Structure 1
Amino acid sequence: MTAQRHRNRGLRIGLRTGLLGGAISLAALPVLAQDLVWARYGDIDSLDPHRATSTLSMQVWDQIYDTLLAFDENGVARPNLAKSWEVSEDGLSYTFTMQEGVVCHDGTPFTADDVKFTIDRAFGDNPSLTRTSWGPITDVTVVDDLTVTVTLESTFGAFLPFLADSFSSMICDSNAELEDYGTGSAIGTGPFSLVSWVQGDEVVLEANPDYRNFGKPVENDGPVHIDRLIVRTIPEPQTRLAALRTGEVHIAEPPFDDIPDIQSGEELELVVAENTGQNVFWQYTTSRPPFDDIRARQAIAHATDPQMAIDIVYGGMNQREWCPIAAGVFGNDQEFCRQFGYEYDPERARELLAELGYGPDNPLETTMYVWTGGNRHILAEIFQAQLAEVGVDASIEIMDIGTMNARVREDNENADSEEPGTFNMMTWGWYDPDILYALWHGGGAYAGYQSDELDAMLERTRTLTDEEERLEAVQNVIQYLMENAIHVGLYTPGWEWIFALRPEVEGFKVGAFLHPMFQDVRVTE
């Protein structure tokens, strides 16, 4: 769907397909005529795609690097740096043919050697944080300068989609010679090359004159129109908005409380990303009471009303999500998921709690973890009040996402603790249902719920390549997770999906799975 402008409402919807301070120096660098300044609440974690998993990092990698495949407007993987590929009859070998004439930022040609370097590095002594998502790769063979063969131990249904995601960004092998790769330098083939990164302040990128677009859903197939892209860290929402209004910043995430005013005015526009792949869900410490009992998990799910909460906090900017995978991801079917979901039913929640021995004089005591930003603290307070109505005394702890991830895993691993188990408003964004394998196989990323039956089901989703068979396997996993109240969907999108733009910015788009694209952007006088 083409981006539409509605200046009278200040709202522009992005492409339909569109897994957190002190004093800020807003003029850290002088802004040139064709500079674009993009302000965000936080900084990247690394310039190295193998060393981080945050959206903030991913969106900068998109500008420096490119991928073998690229997501089209519908989130389907299409040719990009790889112009074609062949799959062996047994599905274990993929032979990719590269585009001719692609050049790395340092002037060296992009070849099959760079592909091998990237994949070998992802499986090396210090492997990529997303190594599992590459699949069961056993060998990468360079056939010639423009041909490479990747061999798998077993078939892997998510392999091609992964090659369109930023976590598979192609890293030019000349980076191996750089002592500060990932912290002060980075060489790719993307639309921008790195000028500098001052941690906690800004990333400065300049246009790559040799860039060619082969697969991204944009109109411009050549170098970008702007001279530089400056990605600036401004943690305070009101400071970002003030800089946007004065013209010191061109694009920024607006404060949620100010969105209605922006929509009703003509000074700024909004781009709202859709099909982001983001999923916000209830997750529980299942290794000890009370959430080692399915009834306690179901009670939390029945006692909370996500639709009411997001209507209050976000005012129609996102939607209720019934599935463990988000809208736009293969296998997401709201009607299918809802039949196994948990409607808002406080009376049923009280019944389940009573069966466990809880009641008005003996409330279930627990703690809800929430990560900072996105007005999630307000959501937490709404949920806290709803839980209190059914006899759940839930305190709230708010922390950054890294701390929350560590705390959740620690709680799951500490099965002998006498403290009540916690639950959390977890968030993940991904492009494929393979995220469920990462989250739940063998206890998954957070050492949480585990069963041999679920593990076997998850393994089957990975090995199937036939679309109909894989869909059935994915939905079997979804049904299991929901019926057992392991992964209870709340809403989507969940973070960094709304962009406010100054009127002189034209051509900005957000692609599938929240990938901002600047190839068509112009800054008018």
Structure 2
Amino acid sequence: MLLKLLSSSLLAAGLLAASGAQAETLRWARASDPTTLDPHSFNTGTNFVLSHQMYETLVTRDAKGKLVPTLATAWKLTSDPTVWEFKLRPGVKFHDGAAFTAKDVVFSLNRAKGPTAQVKSLLASMVEAKAVDELTVHVKTNGPNLIFPDNLTNLFIMNEAWAKAKGAETTQDPASSTENFATRNANGTGPYQLVSREQDARTVMKANPQYWGKGQAPLQITELIYLPIKSPATRVAALLSGEVDFAQDIPAQDVARLKQDQRLRINEGPENRSIFLGLNVGGKELKHSSLKGKNPLADARVREAIHLAIDRDAIKRSVMRGLSIPSGMIAPSFVNGYSKAMAAYPKADAAKARQLLADAGYPNGFDLTLHTSNDRYVNDEAISTAIAGFLGRVGIKTTVVARPIAQQSVAINNADLDFYLYGWGVPTYDSAYIFDFLVHTRGKDGRGPTNATGFSNAQVDTDIVSLASEADKARRDQTIARIWEVVQKERFYIPLHDQVIHFASIKRIDVPVHPDNAVLFKDVKLAAK
């Protein structure tokens, strides 16, 4: 019935694949809808991937993870090691026809550093952005920041005049229900421009007729329709029936079956994303438990017991159908600072876990609530259900509360949970991104916005801040290793695995898997029908 409704609505809107030789419509399905179109509000991959179709950044990464020019054609450190210079692409226009200039870059960087912008941690080291001329920007940092350009791959450039005229000068506050004009509208320089937006139903984009990249990118897709389909079964059925042309968030249990279908193409690869559990180690008592006046998660022995109770190999085998990379570290192998030794994980040991709980004063265990998304990561709810089973064996009675990622993200932003499943990608390919968002004390110096664990360590904070201004790479890497030693020892995060992802499409479309789970549809090539 859902498929019939989906097909009928597309037909009614005249949006099914065009038959003209030059017109190509691509219907793209994912498990969830972006929470907003405001490009600086939420720091979530689902938002970023859609934004990349309409907005652009100064630099992006190719499928091999290499930084490539986008709105900036060149970048370098000046004679002053605290100032980066960006040369901008000439002749670029926003969708409304306005010329792209250095003033738009300065405005966008300052907006993205605003108090309600979740991406502000990426710009924590920025002291000032200055327009030198129409096509040159200087960014001064509070010390020599060797990786500043790496922080810009998801910092989108908006038109200053449009944002101010439309009342969107500051970002939508992700912690409230307040909207601005940019929540449901867009005006970027990207290859596609917004036609219509129906939250949780459909976003329609059409090719930008004045796109600067004509002749440089294939640009074969003339209309792009984004369809959030929450149900995995319905999403896969839509692909099989021809209702959609390209789908992400493919359930692990369906991959083998889809690979056997000669009408489809299934591309597979490791994602630059770790899946893990977050623990409230800073609260005096649990917020979602019948146990009052105590917080067992504040005890290192309890955290170690949870770590040992989880059978990551069983999750890989039974829940992920072999399509995960179990790990003991919340950094994938793509990331600077990753260590094979730290990524080693223990064999599940329920007996030792029970002993640790008894030593901590919980011989009969306690009850806990595990909050999880059910539409963001591969088999996220099923993973959480398995975790509850493992913990039940050692006496921790775990209730799983599953909800959409939009609600889960708000709860994490508000630190309103005790025990939660989460995933983290690393678009900078550097450990500082993990530390800035997940480890640094929450709310201090603009860092730690998604650290919902209550972990706080003054020395670790100092070390994290130093990474943005350390000019000696060897010394910087030593600091990264030192921070990781603390993270591993304290176990306020319990790593589970790195994701393996799949892109599924009709045969004539070939979309290689990007480590960041990103797709730039301007680069997608279509074989002849």
Task: Please indicate the TM-score interval, normalised by the length of the shorter structure.
Answer: 0.7 to 0.9
Opposite residue 104 of structure 2, the aligned amino acid is D
Matched residue count: 481
Indicate which of 352, 357, 365 corresponds to 2:356.
352
Counterpart for residue 434 of structure 2: 435
Match of 1:387 among 379, 391, 407: 391
Task: Write the mapping of 1:289-328 to structure 2, written as runs, cut at 5 A.
Answer: 289-328=295-334
Partner-residue secondary structure (3-state), 1:277: strand
Residues 217-258 of structure 1: CA deviation (Å, up to 9, x unaligned): xxx723501211111122222222222222221012334432
Task: Supply the distance in 2 between the matched residues of 1:175 and 1:185 (Cα, whole angstroms).
Answer: 11
Change (3 A) 1:245 1:302: same
**Alignment partners' CA distance in 2, 1:251 and 1:511:** 15
In the alignment, structure 1 residue 516 sits paired with structure 2 residue 519? yes
Measure, in 1, the Cα distance between the counterparts of 2:360 and 2:277: 20
Distance 1:246 1:22 in 2: 9
**1:439 aligned partner, one-letter code:** L
Q: In 1, are the aligned partners of 2:308 and 2:349 still within 8 Å (CA)?
A: yes
The 2-side partners of 1:35 and 1:393 are apart by 49
1:414-453 maps to which residues of 2 (within 5 A)? 422-431=418-427, 432-433=430-431, 434-443=433-442, 444=448, 445=450, 446=452, 448-453=454-459
> What pairs up with 1:201-350 in 2 under 5 angstroms?
201-213=201-213, 221-222=216-217, 224-253=219-248, 254-274=250-270, 276-286=271-281, 287-288=283-284, 289-338=295-344, 341-350=345-354
Please say if residues 212 and 222 of structure 1, whose CA atoms lie closer than 8 Å, have aligned partners that are also in contact: no
Please give the alpha-carbon distance, in whole angstroms, between the structure 2 residues aligned to 1:408 and 1:207.
36
Q: Is the 8 A contact 1:273 1:510 kept in 2?
A: yes
Give the aligned residue type for 2:129: V
CA RMSD, Structure 1 to Structure 2 (Å): 2.6
Task: Choose which of 35, 43, 54 in structure 1 pairs with 2:44.
Answer: 54
SS of the equivalent of 1:511 reads coil
Q: Is the 8 A contact 2:279 2:453 kept in 1?
A: no
Report the equivalent of 1:367.
369
What is the rounded CA distance, in whole Å, between the counterparts of 2:474 and 2:306 in structure 1? 34
- 170, 178, 183: which one aligns with 2:157: 170
Tell me whether 254-263 or 190-199 shows the greater mean CA deviation: 254-263
Distance apart, 1:480 and its partner CA: 0.7
Per the TM alignment, residue 303 of structure 1 is displaced from its structure 2 partner at its CA by: 0.9
- For 1:62, the aligned partner's letter is H
Letter in 2 for 1:315: R
The alignment partner of 1:238 has SS state of helix
TM-score using structure 1 length: 0.84
Name the SS for the 2:205 alignment partner. strand
Q: 1:236 to 1:426 in 2, by over 3 A?
A: closer
SS at match of 2:370: strand
Please give the residue correspondences for 1:62-211 in structure 2 after superposition, counting only pairs within 5 Å. 62-124=52-114, 127-163=116-152, 165-166=153-154, 168-176=155-163, 177-178=165-166, 181-211=181-211
Kept in 2, the 8 Å contact 1:324–1:478? The answer is: no
Contact 2:63 2:514 (C-alpha < 8 Å) held by counterparts: yes
Partner SS for 1:462: coil
What is the DSSP-based 3-state SS (H/G/I as helix, E as strand, rest coil) of the residue aligned with 1:475? Answer: helix
Between the aligned partners of 1:150 and 1:411, the Cα distance in structure 2 is 33
Aligned-partner Cα distance in 1 for 2:223–2:268: 24
Cα distance in 2 for residues equivalent to 1:106 and 1:408:
36
In structure 2, distance between residues paired with 1:479 and 1:345: 23
Q: Distance in 2 between matches of 1:147 and 1:407?
A: 40
Q: How has the CA–CA distance of structure 1 residues 337 and 223 changed in structure 2, closer, same or farther, with 3 Å as cutoff?
A: closer
Distance 1:197 1:409, change over 3 A: closer
Unaligned runs of 5+ in 2: 168-179, 285-294, 443-447
Mapped contact 1:285–1:408 kept (Cα < 8 A):
no
User: Residues 109, 502 of structure 1: CA spacing in aligned structure 2 closer, same or farther, 3 A cutoff?
Assistant: same
Distance 1:411 1:46, change over 3 A: closer
> What is the CA distance between 1:300 and its match in structure 2?
0.1
Q: Percent identity?
A: 25
Opposite residue 365 of structure 2, the aligned amino acid is P
Q: Secondary structure at the match of 2:128?
A: strand
Greater CA drift, 28-37 or 327-336 = 327-336
SS in 2 for 1:25: helix
The answer to whether the 8 Å contact 1:44/1:56 transfers is yes
State which drifts further: 433-442 or 384-393.
Answer: 384-393
Query: How far apart in 2 are the matches of 1:336 and 1:469?
Result: 19
8 Å Cα contact 2:327-2:343 kept in structure 1: no
Alpha-carbon distance between aligned partners in 2 of 1:509 and 1:110, rounded to the nearest angstrom: 31
* Pairing 1:483–2:489 present: yes
Query: Counterpart in 1 of 2:171?
Result: none
- Kept in 2, the 8 Å contact 1:135–1:159? The answer is no
Name the SS of the counterpart of 1:57 in structure 2.
helix
Q: Which amino acid is the alignment partner of residue 350 of structure 2?
A: P
